[in-house]
Structure 1
Amino acid sequence: MAPVFSPPLHRQRHQFVIDFVKRQKPQKVVDLGCSECSLLKKLKFHREIELLVGVDINGAIIKKKMHGLAPVSTDYLQPSYDQLRIELYQGSVTQKDMRLRGFDLVTSIELIEHLTLDDVERFSEVVFGYMTPVAVIVSTPNSEFNPLLPVLAGFRHSDHKFEWTRAEFQSWALKVCLAYGYDVEFTGVGKAPPGQQERVGFCSQIGVFHRLGGRESSNVLSDDDAEDGFSYTLLYSINYPSLRDNNILRRVLVSEVLYWAEKLKRRWMEEKTGERDEAEECLRASEQRIEMEEKQTVEQCGREVLEVQEGEDEEVFWNNRKGQQESCILHRSVSVPLAVLWSCCPKVSALSGSLSNLRHLLMDEPNVKLSQDGSAVLLQEQDLEEEEEEEEDNDVEDSGYGEASQCPHSAEQEGDWEANI
């Protein structure tokens, strides 16, 4: 009986790498023979990775697929504190490039079988002797499994230069360990049918290499190494938005401050005028439920402060700044103290870190008007009827959308047999 792989074999190989990343949490990862970048597209969601690199000799494939690694709209709208940089290079895995030294993890998924045996030796020297990563994952076909594969004559892919047995793969791996100071664990993905696993092994055999001494072992760049320089061509690089970028942090903080200040101002004005319809009451009840959930994550002292302040908004925290007598209504402002925003709004306090830092970050913001002493945000007071008219106009205006080839060093270039099992 021919084996049927579920999930498909290529997904099992990728999942093996993802599970390793979840356990070991490497910060710098490079995928050699990245081909269509399918593994990189999965790894980019694991934000413990700060630098994610792909290398392939076929630059045309990279250029065709690289834009799938770009940040999406939610990455910009809701940036996190995590940092991620993605780089894609065209180059051969038999050449040295100093930009790939010192990584935590190197993956080589179904790649080495596309190399000649002489190039496999060069690959070993480059990866284990020059790049010296903390860990390396190498997968390659297990030729002992081939008789179980349907409609297969010869190698699994026309570009394969060899396909090793388990003994041949283990012999190469152990020589690498002795030569470059690693140890190795052998495993695989794609189990054989019941009763045949021990006889034929996994469909794809995997070696997981760990550098002796781990992260603490030295990785010094010698003068000879420096002469190798940059042999790869950078085709694509992108930095994901992060709150560690001060400009992005300021933008998100300003958005949160204006949102919460306007929300508090509106609530105060509703209480002042006594106008609140049934829909608004329903919205307020929903907001209160959300606020209660947020409070559960705040320390006890913070909860107590919020509870007191909610009952004293009008008396303690709100002040009207009067303008000239003849235009007191049109030019009157509502003052929202920064202390209130910082203590009542968990996201504002988390983003700013401290009240003094919040004031500093907002000081030169053109979209935020502060009081003369910088202690409060000033918002123009506006009658609720005027606001409702504006909202109706906006509803009308916003009713529609605004204007607005075969490759010897490429991984995952396997035969059609995988697609059907």
Structure 2
Amino acid sequence: MAPVFSPPLHRQRHQFVIDFVKRQKPQKVVDLGCSECSLLKKLKFHREIELLVGVDINGAIIKKKMHGLAPVSTDYLQPSYDQLRIELYQGSVTQKDMRLRGFDLVTSIELIEHLTLDDVERFSEVVFGYMTPVAVIVSTPNSEFNPLLPVLAGFRHSDHKFEWTRAEFQSWALKVCLAYGYDVEFTGVGKAPPGQQERVGFCSQIGVFHRLGGRESSNVLSDDDAEDGFSYTLLYSINYPSLRDNNILRRVLVSEVLYWAEKLKRRWMEEKTGERDEAEECLRASEQRIEMEEKQTAACGARTNHPVEQCGREVLEVQEGEDEEVFWNNRKGQQESCILHRSVSVPLAVLWSCCPKVSALSGSLSNLRHLLMDEPNVKLSQDGSAVLLQEQDLEEEEEEEEDNDVEDSGYGEASQCPHSAEQEGDWEANI
């Protein structure tokens, strides 16, 4: 009975790498022989990785597929604190390039069988002797499994230079460990039919190498190594948006500040005019019902109020003066800010204390003021202690919202990039 792999064998190999990444959480990963970048496209979602590199001798196929690694719109709209840089190189795995030293993980998935045996020796020296990563995952076909594969004559791919038995693969791997200071575990993916696993092993055999001493072992660049320089050609590089980038942090912070300042202003204006829309009333009724249920079921402890509700009830009071000035007072009666010339002044202290994301992004009230000081989209009071917003009648805002509702947003015209299916090797496409 011929084996049928589910999921397909190439996906099982990739999943093996992904599971390893989830357990070990490497920060720097390079895929040798990345080809169409299909493994890299999966690894980019594991944001513990800070540097993700692909290398392949075929630069044309990298150029064809590399844009699939670019950030999408949500990466820019909702950046995280994680950092990710992706680099793609054209080059041979038998050549040294100092940019690939010191990685946490090197993967070589179905690659070495495309090399001559002499090049396999050079590959061993480059990867284990020169790059000296913390871990290496090498997969290659197991020739003992070949008789079970349907419609297979000779090697599994026309470009294969050899296909090793399990004993041959283990002999090479143990020799590498002795020469370069690693140990190795043997496993694989693609199980044989029932009753034949022990006799033929896995369809793809895998060696997982760990450097003796782990991350703490030295990886010093000698003068001779420095002379090797850069052997690879950089074809593509991209930095994913991150809140560790100060410009991106400012942009997100400004967006949050303006959103919450407008929300607080609108709440105050509703309370001042006594106007509430039906949705707001429903929300308030729902919150009151939930509060009553929590009081009935909670044995002890205090509940956390919604930030805007908490500001309205516990932090601020609003009073209107006779001279068209409105002052925000705290419970001690101390003046916080005011409305001048029909501008609403929202104190930064209120925004920082009531809006968790604003406080998380800025870190401190003084830092919040510093980050907003030179922002053209944010108008601060003269002493820099509050955000100034134009006061606008609710009726005018509602009319504008109604006008905007009938406008075409253009969303339907946005095109989406299709995802291409992977092109697999000779025999795997039919299994």
* Fold in common (TM above 0.5): yes
Distance 1:350 1:294 in 2: 28
Question: Take 1:295 and 1:366, find their aligned partners in 2: how far apart are those partners?
Answer: 45
State whether residues 105 and 136 of structure 1, in contact with CA within 8 Å, keep that contact through their aligned partners in structure 2. yes
Shift of 1:153: 0.7
Is the 8 Å Cα contact of residues 187 and 207 (structure 1) preserved in structure 2? yes
SS in 2 for 1:208: strand
Distance verdict in 2 for CA 1:380–1:168, change over 3 Å:
same
Distance 1:117 1:308, change over 3 A: farther
- Per-residue CA deviation, residues 170-223 of structure 1 (Å, 9 max, x unaligned), is 000000000001000000000111111110000000000000111111111111
Q: Secondary structure at the match of 1:295?
A: helix
Query: Alpha carbons of 1:405 and 1:136: their partners in 2 closer, same or farther (altered >3 Å)?
Result: farther
Q: How many residues align?
A: 420
Tell me, in whole angstroms, the C-alpha distance in 1 between the residues paired with 2:127 and 2:419: 14
TM-score, scaled to structure 1: 0.88
Distance 1:371 1:251 in 2: 20
Unaligned runs of 5+ in 1: none
The CA distance in 2 between the partners of 1:248 and 1:405, in whole Å, is: 25
C-alpha change, 1:397 and 1:165, in structure 2 (3 Å) is same
Moved more, 28-37 or 388-397: 388-397
| Separation of aligned partners in 2, 1:405 and 1:256 | 28
* CA–CA separation in structure 2 for the residues paired with 1:284 and 1:38: 49
Which has the larger displacement, 211-220 or 161-170?
A: 211-220
**Alignment identity in percent?**
100
Q: Label 1:283 to 1:124 Cα distance change in 2 as closer, same or farther (>3 A).
A: same
Deviation sequence 1:71-125 (CA, Å, 0-9, x none): 0000000000000000000000000000000000000000000000000000000
1:189–1:204 contact (8 Å) kept in structure 2: yes
CA deviation digits over 1:210-258, x for unaligned, max 9?
A: 0011111111111111111001000000000000000000000000000
Q: Distance in 2 between matches of 1:176 and 1:410?
A: 37
Tell me the distance in 2 between the aligned counterparts of 1:293 and 1:223: 72
CA contact (8 A) 1:341 1:348 kept: yes
Any conservation in 2 of the 1:173–1:207 contact (CA below 8 Å)? yes
Q: 1:392 offset after TM fit, Å? A: 1.9
Q: 1:372: Cα distance to partner?
A: 1.2
CA positional deviation for 1:289: 11
Task: Pick which of 35-44 and 387-396 moved more.
Answer: 387-396
CA distance in 2, matches of 1:413, 1:312: 76
SS, match of residue 202 in structure 1 = coil
Contact 1:253 1:352 in 2 (8 A): yes
1:272, CA displacement in angstroms?
A: 1.0
Displacement of 1:375: 1.0
Matching residue of 1:313: 323
Pairwise CA distance, 1:323: 23
| Structure 2: runs of 5+ lacking an equivalent | 297-307
Judged with a 3 Å threshold, the aligned counterparts in structure 2 of structure 1 residues 293 and 101 are, in CA distance, closer, same or farther, namely: farther
Measured at CA, do residues 374 and 291 of structure 1 come closer, stay the same or move farther in structure 2, by a change above 3 Å? farther
Higher relative contact order (CA 8 A, sep 6+): 1
TM-score (ref. length: structure 2):
0.86
Equivalent position SS for 1:41: helix
Moved >6 Å (runs of 4+)? 285-296, 298-317, 319-330, 402-413
Partner of 1:328: helix, strand, or coil? strand
Task: Tell me what 2:399 maps to.
Answer: 389
The CA deviation string for residues 342-372 of structure 1, in whole angstroms up to 9 with x for no partner, is 1111100100011111111111111111111
